[in-house]
Amino acid sequence: MASSEEAKLETFMQWLQANGVELRGCKIKWCDSKRGFGIFSDKDVSDGVMLVVPLDLAITPMRVLQDPLLGPACRAMFEEGDVDDRLLMMLLLTVERLRKNSLWKPYLDILPTTFGNPLWFSDDELQELRGTTLYRATELQKKSLLSLYESKVKDIVKKLLTLDGNSEIEVCFEDFLWANSVFWSRALNIPMPRSYVFPEMQDAHDICIREADEKNLKPIATWEVDGTGLASGVPFSMYLISAAQSPLQIDQEIYISYGNKGNEELLYLYGFVIDDNTDDYLMVHYPAEAINTISFSESKTQLLEVQKAEMRCLLPKTSLDNGFFPLNTQNSEENNKSKADKVCNYSWSGQRKMPSYVNKLVFPEKFMTTLRTIAMQEDEVFKVSSMLEELAGPERERQLSDTDVQSAVWEVCGDSGALQSLVDLLHVKMMDLEESSGTEENDLDFLKKTLIIDNHEDSKQCTSNLSTKSNDLEEPKLMTRNKWSAIVYRCGQKQLTRLFLEEAEHALQLSLGEEKVTSPC
C-alpha cells in the first residue's frame, strides 16, 4: 500500500477509536486502486458482531439539522420545503469536504475522489451509452444537478463556508457532484430508534431492528440497529453482523449486498456492472408524445386514463424462463406467481376465447392492455364504446371501472394489435442501440480484444507489456473501466432486446393464427 494510503488509514483508525467505534471481528485494509479500502474478517466472534458504530456517527437528515454550522440555515430551508432529506445530507458532504478543519475529514479522506457512474464519464466514454436508456437518463440527471447547484447549492455552501471563516475557498460543481455520488453509492435504509430521534419519548420496542429490503439476498454480513444495547452492548448503535452459514475465514473480505439489481441500475447508482447479470432487465416504453399523432387519439387517451394505463414496463431477464424460448436462469416463485395472476380471463359475449399461448406470454398485462388501446382500429374504437355504453346503462347509472374498460378492449381487439405494436417498439429500440455501435456480436468481439486499465500507471504498464509481444496477430486494445462497463451494459441491452423481440414475434404469429380461426365480432 502506498504511504499516502497508509497515513490515511492510520488517521482514520484513530478517528474511529476516538468516536467509540469497535472493530471486534474485523479490520480495515487497502485493497487496490480500483476498490479502495475494504473490511476483512480478523477473528471469529461468538455472537457474530464484527463492527459496532455509534449512531452519532451516522450522517442523517436529523444530524444535518442539528449541526452547529449547517443547522440554522438548513432548518429554515427544510421547513419551507426548499430542501429534502437527501439534499440535506449532500449539502453536509459538500461543505465538510471543503472545510479545512472538518470533524469528518479522516472519513472523507478515505472515500474515492471520483466514481464509475456515468456522471463521471468522459465525453468519449459517454458515447458508448448512445442508444441506451441510461444515455438519456445521464444527460437529464447531469443537467438537473447542474441546475440545482447553480440555483441553490452554490450560494448555500459559499455562505456556510464564509460563516465558518473559509470565505477564500472556491466552490465548484464537481464538489456537489462528488457529494451526490457519495450519497447514492453509500446510502443505507436504516430505521433509527424513535427514542434516539426523540430522546424524551422512550420506546421499549426499539431493539435490534433489521435492515429493510433483504428479500432473496445472501450477503456475508448485514447492518442492524440496536436501540437499547442488548444486542451489541452499545445503546443507540448500528452493528455489522455475520450472515454467513459458517464461520468466516480469516482475512476474508466482508460484503453487504446491493440487492437484485440489473446493470442499468448498478451502473447508474454505483458505477459498476456484472458480466452476464441474471438480474438484468429491459425497459420498454411507448412515447407519450406519440399518442397525439395516432387516429382517435382523444378517445384512446380517455380510455387509457380510465384504465390507469402504464406507458412503460420493465422486462426482467428471468421472465424469459416462462416464455417460448427459456434461458433456464434461476427464476423465482414470484415470477411464476405473476405469470398466473396476469391472465385476463373475461369475455362478455363468450366469443373471444382465451389464447392457447397465454401462459407463455412474458409481457406484463398492464402494458399489453395499454398497447391494445393504442393499436385499436376505427371499427374497434366504436365497438368498445358501444360495449361500454351498454354496460354503463341508458342513464349512465353505473360508473365504469378500469377492469370494465380492459375487458371491453380485450374482447374487441384480442392480442394481435398490441403484439404488433410491441414488435415495432422493440425493433426501434434495437435500431437505436445498434445505430452508433453495431450489433451485439460486434460488442462481444470488441470486449474479447480489450484490456481494462484503471489509471495512468496501468496504461503505461500495459503499453510496455504489449510492445514486447511482437508475435501476436492482433494486439489487445486498452480500455478504461468506465468504457468497458458501458459496453457490457449496452451489449446486455442488445441481447435482451433480441430475446424479447423473438418472444413478441412468435406470440404475434400465434395470435394472428388463432384470431383468423375465431373472431368475436
Arithmetic mean of pLDDT over the chain: 86
Give the pLDDT confidence of 257-305 residue by residue, as tens digits.
Answer: 888 899 999 999 999 999 999 999 999 999 988 988 999 999 999 999 9
Are residues 77 and 219 located together in one domain of the fold?
Answer: no
216 within a domain of the structure (yes/no)? yes
The SS3 call for residue 521 is coil
Q: Which of 155, 186, 217 is the last residue of a domain?
A: 186
Decide if 433 contacts 493 (C-beta within 8 A): yes
Are residues 353 and 403 located together in one domain of the fold?
Answer: yes
Are residues 293 and 388 located together in one domain of the fold?
Answer: yes
Give the pLDDT confidence of 32-48 residue by residue, as tens digits.
Answer: 877 889 999 999 998 99
Q: Can you tell me the mean pLDDT for 102-108?
A: 94
Q: Which residue has the higher pLDDT, 356 or 433?
A: 433
Are residues 75 and 37 located together in one domain of the fold?
Answer: no
Look at residue 473 in the predicted model and tell me its pLDDT.
Answer: 56
Concatenating the DSSP letter of every residue in 318-377 gives: GGGGGSSS-------HHHHHHHHHT-----SSS-SPPPTTGGG--S-HHHHHHHHHHH--
Are residues 438 and 497 located together in one domain of the fold?
Answer: yes
Q: Which of 186, 216, 244 is the last residue of a domain?
A: 186
Q: Can you tell me the mean pLDDT for 114-125?
A: 95
Which stretches within 149-279 are classed as H helix? 154-163, 173-186, 194-197, 263-269
Look at residue 354 in the predicted model and tell me its pLDDT.
Answer: 84
Give the pLDDT confidence of 298-349 residue by residue, as tens digits.
Answer: 999 999 999 999 999 999 999 999 999 998 765 544 444 444 344 444 555 5
Are residues 76 and 155 located together in one domain of the fold?
Answer: yes
Look at residue 205 in the predicted model and tell me its pLDDT.
Answer: 33
Are residues 40 and 127 located together in one domain of the fold?
Answer: no
Look at residue 336 in the predicted model and tell me its pLDDT.
Answer: 46
pLDDT at 138 over 70: yes
Distances (CA, A) of 383 to 376, 386, 389, 398, 408: 10, 5, 10, 19, 9
Look at residue 407 in the predicted model and tell me its pLDDT.
Answer: 87
In the block, residue with C-alpha cell 436501540? 227
Look at residue 247 in the predicted model and tell me its pLDDT.
Answer: 85
Round the CA-based radius of gyration of the chain to a whole number and report it. Answer: 28
Give the pLDDT confidence of 173-231 residue by residue, as tens digits.
Answer: 999 999 999 999 988 877 766 666 555 544 333 323 233 333 344 678 888 999 999 99
Cell of 351: 366469443
Are residues 385 and 514 located together in one domain of the fold?
Answer: yes
Look at residue 104 in the predicted model and tell me its pLDDT.
Answer: 94
Are residues 120 and 215 located together in one domain of the fold?
Answer: no
Look at residue 53 in the predicted model and tell me its pLDDT.
Answer: 96
292 within a domain of the structure (yes/no)? yes
Q: How many domains does the chain have?
A: 3
User: Which amino acid is present at 381?
Assistant: V
Are residues 66 and 31 located together in one domain of the fold?
Answer: no
Q: Which domain holds residue 221?
A: 4-58+190-253
467 within a domain of the structure (yes/no)? no
Q: Which of 186, 221, 244 is the last residue of a domain?
A: 186
338 within a domain of the structure (yes/no)? no
- CA 405, CA 332: separation in Å to the nearest integer? 31
Tell me what percent of the residues of the chain surpass a pLDDT of 70. 85
Q: Can you tell me the mean pLDDT for 386-414?
A: 86
Decide if 410 contacts 342 (C-beta within 8 A): no
Distances (CA, A) of 225 to 55, 222, 231, 241, 395: 9, 10, 9, 10, 59
